[in-house]
Structure 1
Amino acid sequence: MEYRKLGMSGLTISAITYGTWLTTQDVAEVAHECVAAALDEGITTFDTADVYGNPDFGAGEKVLGAALSGVRRESVEIFTKVCLPTGPGPNDRGLSRKHIAESCNASLRNLGTDYIDLYQAHRYDEGTPLEETMTAFADLVRQGKVLYLGVSEWTSAQIEAAAALAAELKVPLISNQPQYSMLWRVIEKEVVPTCARLGLGQIVFSPVAQGTLTGKYLPGRQPPAESRAKDSRGSLFVGRYLGAPVLAAVQRLRPIADELGLSLSQLAIAWVLQNPGVSSAIIGASRPAQVRENAAAVGRTLDADVLARIDAAFMDDVHGDLVERSPTKVATPFDVMPAWKAEE
């Protein structure tokens, strides 16, 4: 395993972060096995959120906390998030002082810990003054409940404003958690340069594009029965990539991966980790073997020729560049790709 500083902070994290997005209580046993595999591979960083496990809110945190029970607390970094709805009430969401305080306390209980290493704003809250949000976060830092602060899927302008307030309040805002992969490069033009200037590192999610870049989805064929595309939640994310042009492009990556002795998923993760702004890539897993496979991507360097061949694979004679690069929007789980990318 490789270890990197998170942005310009003093916090060291593993280049691979184990994520618990689709983790629920009914798969707790497998999740425990995956966490054990992650620890065996040298992964020390674990990411979750209060909303994971929907509709069983907090399930992801509870399963992770139980899986890490007995592990020396100082040897791991636990990340969680707040903002998305976790209940029916009007204050069960957003970044108000009330919801941040209540959600943090609930997360601490769920995780079975006294503090959160990195507490992240899961989305930007247009309905709450940013000053209220950042002050509430600062109070948690001063109370010792949170060590560092981060954001997820914020625009460069939003990050800039938050960083200014964090500096004024003298609290460490050190990271952004965006979607990033060979297929989704929205952050490259504005978000990454802004974060680099401000000292924030990227903890990127979906480096294999919700499984698309593993090559398991094939043009003209139904998705595998146990795949994320067949899951009621996972399909909301991966559906944008299941058009025939994108799936054909992914298959054009296979000879490149074979030449390097990598699986397609390892190639995708190595590509993400090569971006100098990326501190860590979040992986999910439904079995321990996936954890071990993805961890093996760490330390693999892709030369300029390989990078050029990867870019060329995503050029289509009919549709042009298949990569989403628009700098005018922030990647969200419910963005819809152009119609031709969603066609079967």
Structure 2
Amino acid sequence: MEYRYLGNSGLMVSCLSLGGWVTYGGQVGPEVAQQCMKTAFDLGINFFDTAEVYSGGQCEIDMGVAIRKFGWKRSDLVISTKIFWGGKGPNDRGLSRKHIVEGTDASLKRLQLDYVDLLYAHRPDPDTPMEEIVRAFNHVINQGKAFYWGTSEWSAQQITEAHAVASRLNLIGPLMEQPQYNMFHRDRVEKEYLPLYKNFGMGTTTWSPLASGLLTGKYNDTIPSDSRLAITENPVMKRLRDGLESEDGRVKIAKVIKLGDIAEKVGCTRSQLALAWCLRNKNVSSVITGASKPSQVEENVKAVQIAKQLTDEVLESIEQILSNKPALDYNFRSS
């Protein structure tokens, strides 16, 4: 396993991590979650990600049980959770000081932990003043209930505002962002956030590296009954299914088929190629993966070695298929 510093902090996280969205507490039971986490830990993964909203809190419960069961040393783990959607009450969601503090306490209780290493604002909250948000996360850190705080799916402008408030108040700004990042979703990580890496030393813990399974190739022909997209009661999965059936979805599937040829030449699966591609981005601190069985964890970890085989020539051949690299050069002079 390879370990990377999380932004400009001294914290080291495994370049591949294991997340529980949809899967733990929902798609699979606690025993499978425990087996996946143990396999991940045995293979060197030290970073495990969850959120208060995942399966209504059950994901945190299942992960907490696994941590207790295996008796892992706390300093060997990096645990993160995210606060925003905590329940149906008027103060059970958002980023008010009340919900950040109470939501964190509730998450820690479910996880059976005294603290989490990373605490995220799961989404931006336009209804709460930024000063209140920054002060609340600093309060949680000062109480020893989290070591670092960050954001998820915030814009560069919102993150910059949070840093400006933190600087003015002599407080701690967000260290990391958790954005979606994969071969089909690139602009934010590769373009919008560029000033943040330089100006604030921001780290990233990216999610959906396989584009919700699209990049594995398993949806090339149909939707398997045991896949995430087959979960009919989940509105997010329904939206993704609808996307596959659109014209854009068919174009992406055609690209996935072509990527299979490159994966074959490299000697890996499409999934491993997609993970390795994400790992090649030096601004990615850790790629959050999902797994519904231990064998998937084992296959995913092989991507760490595959990443070293992605030469400039291979990367260029991938770019020719994707044809979606964000444009970074601007010329504002009139011709």
TM-score normalised over the length of structure 1: 0.87
Deviation string, structure 1 residues 309-342 (Cα, Å, up to 9, x no partner):
1122134xxxxx5x8x699xxxxxxxxxxxxxxx
2:254 pairs with 1:254: no
165-174 or 266-275, larger mean C-alpha shift:
165-174
Q: Specify the SS of the correspondent of 2:303.
A: coil
2:278 pairs with 1:272: yes
Deviation string, structure 1 residues 283-313 (Cα, Å, up to 9, x no partner):
0001001111111111423222211211221
The count of aligned residue pairs is 314
What is the one-letter code of the residue matched to 1:289? S
1:119 shift after superposition: 0.4
Question: Percent identity, aligned pairs only?
Answer: 44
Question: Pairwise mapping of residues 1-344 of structure 1 onto structure 2 (< 5 A)?
Answer: 1-22=1-22, 23-24=24-25, 27-53=29-55, 57-69=56-68, 70-84=71-85, 86-167=86-167, 168-171=169-172, 173-187=174-188, 188-218=190-220, 221-232=221-232, 233=234, 235-236=237-238, 238-239=240-241, 240-242=243-245, 243-299=249-305, 300-301=307-308, 302-315=310-323
257-266 or 20-29, larger mean C-alpha shift:
20-29
CA contact (8 A) 2:180 2:209 kept: yes
CA contact (8 A) 2:272 2:299 kept: yes
Q: Specify the SS of the correspondent of 1:278.
A: coil
Structure 1: gaps spanning 5 or more residues? 316-320, 328-344
Relative to 1, partners in 2 of residues 1:237 and 1:280: Cα closer, same or farther, differing over 3 Å? Answer: farther
Q: Specify the SS of the correspondent of 1:99.
A: helix
What is the one-letter code of the residue matched to 1:111? L
Using the alignment, how far apart are the partners of 1:182 and 1:142 within structure 2?
38
CA contact (8 A) 1:140 1:146 kept: yes
Using the alignment, how far apart are the partners of 1:192 and 1:18 within structure 2?
25
Q: Specify the SS of the correspondent of 1:17.
A: strand
Using the alignment, how far apart are the partners of 1:306 and 1:176 within structure 2?
28
Q: Specify the SS of the correspondent of 2:120.
A: strand
157-166 or 208-217, larger mean C-alpha shift:
157-166
1:170 shift after superposition: 3.0
Using the alignment, how far apart are the partners of 1:79 and 1:326 within structure 2?
33
Using the alignment, how far apart are the partners of 1:235 and 1:83 within structure 2?
20
1:172 shift after superposition: 5.3
What is the one-letter code of the residue matched to 2:120? Q
Using the alignment, how far apart are the partners of 2:63 and 2:194 within structure 1?
29
CA contact (8 A) 1:196 1:277 kept: no
Relative to 1, partners in 2 of residues 1:237 and 1:14: Cα closer, same or farther, differing over 3 Å? Answer: farther
152-161 or 297-306, larger mean C-alpha shift:
297-306
What is the one-letter code of the residue matched to 2:253? L
Deviation string, structure 1 residues 58-92 (Cα, Å, up to 9, x no partner):
111111111111211111000000012x2221111
CA contact (8 A) 2:159 2:174 kept: no
TM-score normalised over the length of structure 2: 0.89
Using the alignment, how far apart are the partners of 2:239 and 2:18 within structure 1?
19
What is the one-letter code of the residue matched to 1:261? G
Using the alignment, how far apart are the partners of 2:239 and 2:41 within structure 1?
28
CA contact (8 A) 1:82 1:121 kept: yes
Deviation string, structure 1 residues 252-274 (Cα, Å, up to 9, x no partner):
00111111111111110111111
Alignment RMSD (CA, Å): 1.7
CA contact (8 A) 1:17 1:45 kept: yes
CA contact (8 A) 1:212 1:238 kept: no
Relative to 1, partners in 2 of residues 1:182 and 1:122: Cα closer, same or farther, differing over 3 Å? Answer: same
Q: Specify the SS of the correspondent of 2:59.
A: helix
CA contact (8 A) 1:7 1:196 kept: no
What is the one-letter code of the residue matched to 2:177? N
